[in-house]
Chains A and B, each alone.
Chain A
Amino acid sequence: MSGAPIIRLEGVCKNYGDFTALDNVSLSVFQGEKIVICGPSGSGKSTLIRCINALEHHDAGTITFDGQQLYAPGVSLTHIRRHVGMVFQSFNLFPHLSVLENCILAPKRTQGISDAVARDRARGYLDRVHILDQADKYPGQLSGGQQQRVAIARALCMEPKAMLFDEPTSALDPEMIGEVLEVMTDLAETGMTMICVTHEMGFAKRVADRVAFMDRGAIVESAPPQDFFANPQTDRAAAFLQKLIHP
């Protein structure tokens, strides 16, 4: 990896009252890198990626996306968010809009493209997540796995420079997890920069360049997956992996 990182966090802290959600977190992500973030619940994983697209405002430290520092004067958070796709645990599709309308709303409103161009683009991404045949349905008519694939397509329709995944398979029934991970793996192969909060360790082994292990708001350990899984450096990471294997 060369050049400046596309996402860079330095000394990021975030508190909710007395609770420390993020404790001096630093992380650099380069173009095309895939980072998997794991760790026990409440360790700050979701808060971390929600700070990257400014859904949460961090209290201290700096976050830079593509050379622009968040909250710096003259930097528009709305513009930054247009280049960072996000996929939520609970899908958050717009229930009053059809699948296709979900995908064209933001591109049409933010990129000044015509309806026809937006629809063509949306059909392309819906095809890529294998759900083009459901384009005219409403989210409520789809299964969880299908909804999450639509959510990924919706984010891709903005043609982002990086994608954030916040536990994308945690709300899914087991038999639907595979179809979503498959789409994410395909996306990784296209060279997309990805940060994924997930407990799918098989996915991490296959796709991740680095696994970052978080505990109590801090990144305790960060290593390529083969090293992390075979040889965790900290007791906390070892204990966490032990629990994943023998719950």
Chain B
Amino acid sequence: MEFDTQVFWSALTSAAYLKGALITLSLTVISHATAIAISLPMALVLNGSNRVARTLATGYVLIFRAVPQLLLLLFVWNALPQFIPVFREPWFNPFLAAWLALSLNEAAYQVEINRAALRAVDHGQGAAGIALGLTHTDVYRFIVFPQAARIALAPTVNEFITLLKITSLASVISLQELMTVTQISVARTFQFSEYYLAALIYYLVMVFTLMAIQKRIERRFAWEKTGMPGSVGGAR
């Protein structure tokens, strides 16, 4: 059996592949954005002193880290409409189901990253902001969050890359993302290597682009790499 360059090339440049890749990418972006939006207040709660809220957040992390993504996707798409009638309406499509399932799941992972990053910001930073008479909101906004974001960047991009690949699981709920498109093409022609390679290239390009963006952001905010001896304060 030979590798048919023609088939590979036409798959690579096909509208179906491009559309599949765009669905993969957009699902990842909005799921991760939603996950971050959910996980940020949850991280604050977990680091905070409200015991009821902390228990609830801990329970959330426990459950959604334990549930396999595949099970969660199938549950949201197939089982949720049985309990909640709104999800039986025609607007509830595989994309929305995947968005919901992956956001809930990803938030449980992202919350640990946020929590660790917030904790990694030295206590003296908050104390200095408070001592200057800034409000707690301003201390978080101008002092703690920017430093925590810099710490969280690398693991967050890691999560994004993992999530990008996890979206391929949404093929089980018939979402037309990149892997679904690939499998349909393979099933039709049995030309495995041509279609797999085309998909692989899309994933590589997406991930490499992302890593380049990460490097650029890290360089932009490289304030801590400019250290000199004596730049780190002593114990309090």
Residues of A within 8 A of B (CB): 46, 53, 55, 78-79, 81-86, 88-96, 105-106, 109-110, 138-144, 147, 154-155, 158, 170-173, 176
Contacts and interface: CB of A to CB of B under 8 A. Distances in A.
Given A96-B150, A105-B142, A144 B231 contact: yes
A86 to B, nearest CB: 4
A205 to B, nearest CB: 25
A94 B228 contact: no
A85 B130 CA distance: 11
A46 B124 CA distance: 14
A184 B198 CA distance: 68
Nearest to A173: B230
Contact of A82 (B129, B133, B228): B133
Contacts of B236: 46, 88-90
Residue with the greatest number of chain A CB neighbours at <10 A, chosen from B129, B228, B231: B231
Contacts of A172: 230
Contacts, number: 110
B234 A89 contact: yes
B223 A170 contact: no
A155 B128 CA distance: 10
Interface residues of B, number: 32
A93 B142 CA distance: 13
Contact of B228 (A86, A89, A143, A171): A143
Contacts of B233: 88-92, 144, 147, 171
B162 to A, nearest CB: 27
B131 interface: yes
Contacts of B68: none
Contacts of B134: 78, 105-106, 109-110
A138 B223 contact: yes
Nearest to A54: B130
B133 A147 contact: no
A134 to B, nearest CB: 12
Nearest to A166: B236
B48 interface: no
Contacts of A78: 133-135
A158 B133 CA distance: 9
A155 B132 contact: yes
Contacts of A138: 223, 226
Contact of B124 (A92, A96, A154, A173): A92
A106 B228 contact: no
A138 B228 CA distance: 11
Contacts of B226: 138, 140-141
A163 to B, nearest CB: 11
Contacts of B150: 96
Contacts of A53: 131
A96 B221 contact: yes
Contacts of B230: 143-144, 147, 172-173, 176
A154 B134 CA distance: 13
Residue with the greatest number of chain B CB neighbours at <10 A, chosen from A81, A90, A176: A90
Contacts of A86: 128, 131-132
Contact of A110 (B131, B133, B146, B234): B133
Contact of A109 (B130, B138, B227): B138
Contacts of A84: 131
B89 interface: no
Q: Which 5 A-B pairs have the closest CB atoms?
A: A90-B233, A171-B234, A82-B133, A92-B128, A106-B132
